[in-house]
Amino acid sequence: MLWVDCTANIDRYNTADKIASLVRKVREVGFNTIVFDVKPISGQVVYPSQLAPKLRAWKGKELPADFDPLGAMVREARANGLSLLISLNAFSEGHRDFRVGPGYETPELQTVLYEPQPMARIDTGAAVHRFPISEAANPPQLIPESLHVFNDSSRRPQPTPGNFAVTIDRNFRIVDGFESGGFGSALPTIPRGGSLLAGNGPAGEFLRQHALPGRKLEIVADPVFVPISARPRQQVPLMMNPTHPKVVERALAVLGEVVANYDVDGVLYDDRLRYAGMNADFSEPTRAEFEREVGRRLTWPNDVFRYTFTPDFRRGIRPGPYYQWWLEWRAAKLTEYVRAARTIVKSKRPQAVFGVYAGSWYGEYAGIGSNYAAPSFEGGFWFATSEYRRSGFADSLDLLITGCYYPTATVFEAMETDVSIGHSVEYAGYLSNQIAGDRAWTYAGIMLMQYPADPQAFGRALAAACASTQGVMVFDLSHDIDRYWDVMAAAFRVPARAPHMNPQELSRIRSRRAEEEAKGRLPGPLVVAAGAPGTGQ
């Protein structure tokens, strides 16, 4: 299948003639399915809607107000014998870089992030003194409102009248203090495993008065709770709160509207079917609901986790007593949503495929609340308790597509080039297939832009994807695709029907797997090799 991203390809589908030409080309090359992204992260849609604003333009490319590209895509797919799936972003309702999207109009529904405010803490015995530390290490200049941490010797500040600096060792012990931040032109030595803290104005005076050699200067974290729009550096999508009833209601309504109005073969949720991160959602409504779940008032957020800092300013977390319960509860909430969404799709179009796209490195997904595994999956992941496994939603899917976005095609190729085998299309596909556990068809997604200088390497990736899963998704039409058409035509020269278009076969496979599991005939142990952070997200 070929993925057609909404915003990146707007000038490829903004007229009926362009859509007709595109669909013919896709068919000629040998694809049997198109995935058309109709609700991008901006929260806008490309079709007429009573619920969501229409996308009119993107980066200077226009989509005529009176043109319905989804309707045209449905007609052309039917005329050319292709399967058409649509993709929606569930919980993203805005785009950071352009500040567009309905989510900006409802800040109370945006996800609330739990962020650490680093603080210097000095206990003199008589009193505890604290001062804020800038979040960014090694800044080019000092500001008086904050202390600044330097853990890179090449970026230490030059001695300046009015500055004051101290060094701390790996145990937070103050080694020495430096008026003006140094001795003449000599810069302080940063202890191994420690750092240098510098300040001017009030920040410098704090160090001058309280940071005496031999004392401890600890770097601690105060909790700060902010809507995601107040932290634009976090990520591009404006993520909403998946536990808020109004967010869930809107997302399901948008889904129901488009499935009712268009004769599509299926629906996929893109990777924004998740929480914004481990630090989301920490809003008061979510807190109240989680406290009802655990049955007690919590010390918030420390009972879930608290942030920590090392002496050299590396950030970590310390799990609280309800950390694992938090992971399990968030995963269960998203699984509730997936099941509700499936019910809507099947009620409107019983034969339509329902699926999701997710990143292939499953080890990251507990942090964003998405458990796309089969409920029976046992893979040795640290977070996968029996309760967590119960939240697996693969059995609510017909199709699982994972982003196996690696430039290395096979495990053998990875070994030859000294790359982790987990960073290969073949292994990522294998892992995804094992995680789905025959509950859903599994397709490996590969990204065209990862093979810019070697279309033949892309061909090997196609083969690896199809060998390790039941199909392949190619992302994306906008990625200089013309140089790859011949490779794809060679790979797809034998026509084939997409597995997801055969629901009876999936039912048979599920039944056979259930029978085997009931007899205790479980698959062999999973070979676990870590994937790359962010792969496919």
What amino acid occupies position 189?
A: T
Q: Same domain for 400 and 452?
A: yes
Q: Please choose, from the candidates 404, 349, 362, 371, the residue with its C-alpha nearest in 3D space to the C-alpha of residue 273.
A: 371
Give the chain's length. 537
Q: Same domain for 99 and 128?
A: no
Q: Does residue 428 form part of some domain?
A: yes
pLDDT band of residue 185 (cuts 50, 70, 90) is: low
Q: Does residue 296 form part of some domain?
A: no
pLDDT band of residue 380 (cuts 50, 70, 90) is: confident
CATH number at residue 47: 3.20.20.80
Q: Same domain for 447 and 418?
A: yes
Tokens of 195: 């750092």
Q: What percent of the chain has pLDDT over 90?
A: 92
Q: Does residue 410 form part of some domain?
A: yes
pLDDT at 536: 62
Let me know: does 270 contact 87? Beta carbons within 8 Å: yes
> Cα(31)–Cα(466) distance, rounded to whole angstroms?
13
> Cα(157)–Cα(163) distance, rounded to whole angstroms?
10
Q: Strand 33-39 to strand 2-4: parallel, antiparallel, or no bridges (unpaired)? A: parallel
Average pLDDT of every residue of the chain? 96
Higher-pLDDT residue of 290 and 531 is: 290
Q: Strand 195-199 to strand 174-179: parallel, antiparallel, or no bridges (unpaired)? A: unpaired
Q: Same domain for 185 and 54?
A: no
- pTM for the whole thing? 0.95
> Cα(196)–Cα(188) distance, rounded to whole angstroms?
8
pLDDT in tens, 220-266: 999 999 999 998 787 899 999 999 999 999 999 999 999 999 999 99
Q: Does residue 527 form part of some domain?
A: no
> Is the predicted pLDDT of residue 405 greater than 90, yes or no?
yes
Q: Look at residue 112 and give its three-state secondary structure.
A: strand
Q: Does residue 32 form part of some domain?
A: yes
Task: Assign 3-class secondary structure to 463-493.
Answer: HHHHHHCCEEEEECCCCCHHHHHHHHHHHCC
Q: Same domain for 253 and 167?
A: no
Mean per-residue pLDDT, 360-375 = 97
Q: Does residue 535 form part of some domain?
A: no
pLDDT in tens, 480-530: 999 999 999 999 999 999 999 999 999 999 999 999 999 988 888 888 888
Tokens of 236: 């591009």
Q: Same domain for 33 and 89?
A: yes
Which of 228-242, 291-305, 349-363, 455-469 is predicted with the least confidence, judged by mean pLDDT?
Answer: 228-242
Instruction: Render 205-269 in DSSP notation, one character per residue.
Output: HHHHHH--TTSBEEEEEEEEEEEGGG-TTS-SEEEB-TTSHHHHHHHHHHHHHHHHHS--SEEEE
How many domains, the chain?
Answer: 2
Q: Same domain for 214 and 271?
A: no
Q: Same domain for 212 and 246?
A: no
- Report the helix count and the strand count for the chain, using DSSP H and E: 12, 21
Q: Same domain for 217 and 171?
A: yes
Q: Same domain for 14 and 35?
A: yes
CATH number at residue 165: 2.60.120
pLDDT at 34: 99
pLDDT in tens, 104-148: 999 999 999 999 999 999 999 999 999 999 999 999 999 999 999
pLDDT at 186: 73
pLDDT in tens, 441-464: 999 999 999 999 889 999 999 999
pLDDT at 184: 58
Q: Same domain for 493 and 372?
A: yes
Q: Same domain for 67 and 121?
A: no
The number of beta carbons lying within 10 Å of the beta carbon of residue 380 is 8
If you ran DSSP here, which 8-state letter would residue 172 be given? S
pLDDT in tens, 321-340: 999 999 999 999 999 999 99
Let me know: does 254 contact 348? Beta carbons within 8 Å: no
pLDDT band of residue 537 (cuts 50, 70, 90) is: low
Range of the domain at 363: 2-109+240-278+322-519
